[in-house]
DNA sequence: TATGAAACCTGTGCAGG
DNA sequence: CCTGCACAGGTTTCATA
């Protein structure tokens, strides 16, 4: 991906509703050229979709927690993600290196709902859980800084 | 927030670029009514913004990690978030209950970049770090299920 | 890939209930 | 808080280079 595509993705990550007209102004391309590039980025999966960022307090899900899970039976096949995906309180599921096998991020309305969710997680995936409650969120969902080719050198320096 | 607003937010969380016309169709309201509601939701901060969801592998940041931090000097004033916000590899920063004080989610290009970032984190905020590397991400950024008023009872059951 | 022009569709403001 | 209308501006396609 080269410079202009990077710029487009950066802009759309910051403002997912930016118009093609504005993207064209920012990139110096014509509207149609930008249009083609955005569609291509979507098709290639560089841009996976668009989302409104929501205030979780406002929508009645003020309690966030990280839940690390570990299989009860380490010999059993690991299909935790499929077993957990029906629980829509789970926002994300990452397989991780370390003592536990997955880290989940969950959003619930109350401590009681968290308790119920943890029971569902344990029952659904046959795992033990370790929960870290979020107290506040100084920042979240910051858009990525998209690497330029020069950045590639940074790590080597 | 009542039913129609909830529906609008749900739809925009799933597709941040959905047109007002389509939102109107989905809600049964006129375009202008939807328009007013969306603007109001934005003004009230229920909708905090819009973002393109990006494939981090594709943009050259294939390595994700969770970094838990703990102050070296527990007596010092805790201004870690401000001290860390300039590091744009940090996507999110949550203050948490538990042994550590914050959990950061970071995105970098390589293990070497992760090493460098950890040094910067430790130096910038005078903290120790504990890092959990993400191996794969079965799912992420799932849109929330917005609570209906009936959901309020769930926890009590 | 790029462009400009044409056709069509949306966003937005306003008058009115 | 709703609707419908008007028009400016955005989106999308196409012919062309």
pLDDT given for residue A148 in this prediction = 78
- What distance in Å separates the CA atoms of residue A131 and residue B98, rounded to the nearest whole number? 9
Token pair of A114 as six digits: 């968290």
Query: How many angstroms separate the CA of A130 from the C1' of C1?
Result: 52
Is B97 within 8 Å of A135 (Cβ atoms)? yes
pLDDT given for residue A152 in this prediction = 60
Q: Which of residues 22-81 of A touch strand C (CB under 7 A)?
A: 29-33, 36-37, 40
Per the DSSP assignment, residues forming a β-bridge with A108 are: A63
pLDDT given for residue B154 in this prediction = 53
Q: Which of residues 82-141 of A touch strand C (CB under 7 A)?
A: none
- What distance in Å separates the CA atoms of residue B60 and residue A1, rounded to the nearest whole number? 9
- Which residues, given as ranges, of chain B have pLDDT below 70? 152-157
Max distance between CA atoms of chain A, in angstroms, equals 58
pLDDT given for residue B1 in this prediction = 74
- What distance in Å separates the CA atoms of residue B118 and residue B96, rounded to the nearest whole number? 19
Nucleotide nearest to A40 (CA to C1'): C1
Identify which of B50, B59, B109 has the shortest CB distance to residue A16.
B50
Does the CB of B30 fall within 7 Å of any strand D atom? Answer: yes
Q: Phi and psi (nearest 5°) for A156?
A: -75, -25
Task: Give the closest residue to B16 by CA, choosing from A50, A9, A39, A143.
Answer: A50
- Bridging pattern class, strands B127-139 and A102-108: unpaired
Provide DSSP, A126-145.
TEEEEEEEEEEEEE--PPPP
Q: Are residues A154 and B44, on separate chains, in Cβ contact within 8 Å? A: no
| Stated pTM of the model | 0.94
Most A-contacting residue of B6, B44, B46, B51 (CB-CB within 10 A), to test interface: B51
Residue appearing with tokens 């990690």: B65
Percentage above 90 pLDDT, chain A: 90
Q: Phi and psi (nearest 5°) for B2?
A: -110, -175
Token pair of A81 as six digits: 């993600």
Predicted confidence (pLDDT) per residue in B94-124, tens digit: 999 999 999 999 999 999 999 999 999 999 9
Max distance between CA atoms of chain B, in angstroms, equals 58
pLDDT given for residue B73 in this prediction = 96
Task: Give the closest residue to B117 by CA, choosing from B128, B108, B105.
Answer: B108
Q: Give the CB-side neighbour count of residue A131, counting CA atoms within 13 A.
A: 20
pLDDT given for residue A155 in this prediction = 42
Return the nearest residue to C3, CA–C1'. Answer: A30
Is B103 within 8 Å of A132 (Cβ atoms)? yes
Residue appearing with tokens 């110096």: A28
Q: Tell me the chain A residues in contact with residue B47 when contact means C-beta distances shorter than 8 Å.
A: 52-55
Q: Give the CB-side neighbour count of residue B41, counting CA atoms within 13 A.
A: 29
Task: Give the closest residue to B104 by CA, choosing from B112, A46, B113, B122.
Answer: B122
Token pair of B2 as six digits: 């009542």
Q: How much is the average pLDDT of A112-126?
A: 98
- Indicate if the pLDDT at residue A70 is higher than 70: yes
Token pair of B147 as six digits: 């609570």
């Amino acid at each position: 991906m080269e410079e202009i595509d990077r710029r487009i993705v950066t802009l759309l990550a910051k403002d997912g509703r930016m118009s093609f007209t504005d993207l064209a102004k920012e990139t110096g391309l014509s509207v149609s050229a930008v249009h083609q590039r955005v569609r291509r980025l979507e098709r290639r999966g560089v841009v996976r979709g668009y989302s409104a960022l929501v205030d979780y307090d406002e929508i009645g899900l003020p309690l966030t927690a990280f839940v690390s899970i570990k299989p009860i039976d380490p010999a059993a096949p690991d299909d935790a993600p499929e077993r957990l995906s029906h629980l829509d309180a789970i926002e994300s599921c990452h397989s991780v290196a370390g003592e536990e096998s997955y880290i989940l991020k969950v959003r619930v309305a109350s401590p009681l709902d968290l308790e119920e969710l943890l029971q569902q997680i344990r029952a659904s995936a046959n795992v033990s859980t370790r929960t870290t409650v979020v107290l506040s969120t100084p920042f979240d969902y910051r858009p990525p800084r998209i690497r330029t080719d020069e950045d590639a050198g940074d790590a080597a320096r």
